[in-house]
Amino acid sequence: MSERKTDAEYLRTVEIPERASGRRLDLFLATRFRTLSRAAAARAIRSGEVHSSERSLKPSSLLRAGEVLHIGIAGFAPDGPPPVFPTILYEDDRILALDKPAGLLVHPAGDRWAWAVIGMVKEARPDDRVDLVHRLDRDTSGILVLTKDPATNVWLKEHFRSRSEALAKEYIAVVKGLPDWDHKEVEAPLGEHPSSEVRLRRGVRADGQRAWTTMRVLARTPEQGLSLVACRIHTGRTHQIRVHLEHVGHPILGDKLYGEPDDTFLEWLEEGATARVRARVGFPRQCLHAARLRLPHPDGATIDLEAPLPADMAALVAGQRPEWPEDAT
């Protein structure tokens, strides 16, 4: 799937796969976008919000494999231009490493339209078989690695999965409080949180999976009650850094899930960034940045990557507290 601009309108393009050949257009759209009813799809087709460069369309049109649909249905298509392409940290004929900004999805989720790194890169590198090697949360900024061919993707994913010694990751976080330590080894097993109402929340528990994080304090800002902490992860558990920082009493600034009671996260999920949520979490996003990554290359070399601290986190370290943007959710 890719995006393009046509007649000052930003449209979503969908290429019809072989398996959908011969299906009715309205039924295909209602199946492809599960929150779009067949009746709504038919109305959109009749109003010209779905068209093909090859022919005129109606709800009963039978699809052809390889045909490209141009979709402008509100909520299912872009409402403006794409964001600025992420800064390229490294690129060769097999690997691409980007500095992903906070707020940009790595991969789209659900039916509703959202710009995402994978679609932007596929649009920019149409001759390559682009795929993700790993993911970052929407809120997390920093180093993101993609590959340009399937063999390299499988090879690198195995290194990430097995926590290969050739691989080293370091994240930097702005945390609440002033640690009374400069260096800390945290080995605390992780699993489902034993008492949380939020199913995705993880917690430290004796019967959990082994999790090991090395932490070191880089800077403290006593006037703000914040610290800058580097975290090297030796295991790759879900939300590992966020849980371990909460566990040692210094949750990440802006984290709506960890370091907060369940009702803060649930209120944000249901109502957005209310005044109460803003006051509790203190910042629009979790201040976590994938700063350094060492990874092997299939040709035998080693790649050392570094992404500079983003402006919002750098401002916090400098003693500034930027205003929460009015449109932040």
Q: Is 137 a catalytic residue?
A: yes
Side chain identity, residue 285: R
Radius of gyration of the chain (CA): 22
Question: At which residue do the structure tokens 């790194």 appear?
Answer: 117
DSSP state of 222: T
- In the set 128, 137, 149, 262, the catalytic residue is 137
In 3D space, the residue among 47, 34, 5, 25 whose CA is nearest the CA of residue 111 turns out to be: 34
- Which two three-digit tokens encode residue 219? 């800077």
In what helix (H) or strand (E) does residue 147 lie, and over which residues does it extend?
strand 141-147
Q: How far apart (Å, rounded) are the C-alpha atoms in residues 184 and 115? A: 38
Taking residue 128's Cβ as centre, other Cβ atoms within 10 Å add up to: 16
Q: Is the dihedral of CA 171, 176, 180, 185 positive or negative?
A: negative
Helix axes 25-32, 38-46, angle to 10 degrees: 120
Contacts of 207 (CB under 8 A, 6+ apart): 189, 191
Q: Give alpha helix (H) positions in the chain.
A: 25-32, 38-46, 117-124, 150-162, 240-247, 262-271, 275-281, 311-317
3-state secondary structure labels for all residues of 286-299? CCEEEEEEEEECCC
Q: How far apart (Å, rounded) are the C-alpha atoms in residues 192 and 201? A: 7
- Which two three-digit tokens encode residue 44? 């959109």
Q: How far apart (Å, rounded) are the C-alpha atoms in residues 304 and 292? A: 8
Q: In terms of C-beta density within 10 A (0-12 exposed, 13-18 middle, 19 or more buried), how is residue 81 classed? A: exposed
Give the residue numbers marked as catalytic.
137
